[in-house]
A and B are shown apart, each in its own frame.
Chain A
């Protein structure tokens, strides 16, 4: 900006605000400051500010956080979690079955987790080793059915290719699974797993 423009600016100011107007605004300001400095006015303003802050706090923590917990990001996180979990649960190689199923356990919680652990240890792992079963699950679709605060239900569509010592050529099956998940420490863990 050039100096001449600034000068013109100040010229404008003096032209736009003649003395009586300046006095009038000064009077308004003084009246305003007099009324703002009143004890009662001050206390009322503080009370209103505190009340509005409290209201906003309630809205933020009581309503907004809840909305966020069930928003689009949460739905996407649920779909990702059930995709990863389902793939882990239904995928193992005969020679690494113990480690594979152990890793799958980290996606599980609750009664289903306990059931899966004992079922895979007692039934799945011995059979996998004995019959050389290798199975690979591919999730071809994951969708959120319901999403509440810390619980969600998802529909997972899986294609599973399984080979055994007798049938080395992978045999393919398609299934749809209803997967329930619970949020624990920010992670969605599988608590129920039912084919539909």
Chain B
């Protein structure tokens, strides 16, 4: 055979088409009815194609399921992070000591964002003064925290907490119960308190 250039290859391949139809793989040698061998081959081709179609569909479906699973896992991790942040934020808020009041307030501000942060910041100076003058010591702990609702970038969290309060006005480890509804919003990759209100 000559050097297989593109042209000769094409010419060689065209030839069988010019040959009589008997030579066609899809037809029977006698030209009337397909032989048993041909039928087997056709069935095999159909089975192969059907299998390929099923494989592709299954692969797509599996991919979609896996992607959904990953996003469900990411959601769970996000919820856990939100609850941790809310617990920590509220605990900071109800644990203020006169001797470290400025640092305690800064810790709350670090865990706050949005209007809650700016409101608290605006009042922080007078708050620190009151805490120091009244020799306030509050020690709080969160007893339960859960998700009330979630939306992308934000969640509303309910927090039940207790704190013991001592001050110069005579309170000696008085226990206070808190029921708070805290809106947590995403801020630079973490969740912070954007709104805190009492559950009435």
- The judgment on whether A and B are partners is yes
Q: Are A23 and B14 in contact (CB under 8 A)?
A: yes
CB distance from B173 to the nearest CB of A (A): 19
- Find the residue from A38, A49, A52, A196 having the highest chain B CB count within 10 A: A49
Q: Are A196 and B44 in contact (CB under 8 A)?
A: no
Q: Which of A36, A59, A72, A174 is in CB contact (< 8 Å) with B66?
A: A59
Q: Which of B47, B51, B61, B72 is in CB contact (< 8 Å) with A71?
A: B72
* Chain B 28-78 interface residues, beta-carbon cutoff 8 Å to A: 41-42, 44-45, 47-52, 54-55, 58-59, 61-62, 65-66, 68-69, 72, 75-76
Tally inter-chain residue pairs, CB-CB below 8 A. Answer: 129
Residue ranges of A at the interface with B (Cβ–Cβ < 8 Å): 20, 23-24, 26-27, 30, 33-34, 36-39, 41-42, 45-46, 48-49, 52-53, 55-56, 59-60, 63-64, 67, 70-72, 75, 79, 140-145, 153-155, 157, 159, 174, 176, 178, 196
Number of interface residues of B (CB under 8 A): 45
Q: Are B146 and A144 in contact (CB under 8 A)?
A: yes
Does B179 touch A at the CB level, under 8 Å? yes
Q: Are B200 and A52 in contact (CB under 8 A)?
A: no
- Find the residue from A26, A48, A144, A155 having the highest chain B CB count within 10 A: A155
Q: Point out the residues of chain B lying under 8 angstroms from A143, CB to CB.
A: 145-148, 157-158
Q: Point out the residues of chain A lying under 8 angstroms from B177, CB to CB.
A: 176
Once bound together, how far apart are the Cα atoms of A42 and B50, in whole Å? 10
- Contact residues of A: prevailing secondary structure: helix
Q: Which of B44, B145, B150 is in CB contact (< 8 Å) with A72?
A: B150
- Find the residue from A27, A63, A64, A141 having the highest chain B CB count within 10 A: A141
Q: Are B145 and A36 in contact (CB under 8 A)?
A: no
Q: Are B179 and A157 in contact (CB under 8 A)?
A: yes
- Contact residues of B: prevailing secondary structure: helix
- Find the residue from B44, B146, B147 having the highest chain A CB count within 10 A: B146
Q: Point out the residues of chain B lying under 8 angstroms from A55, CB to CB.
A: 58, 62
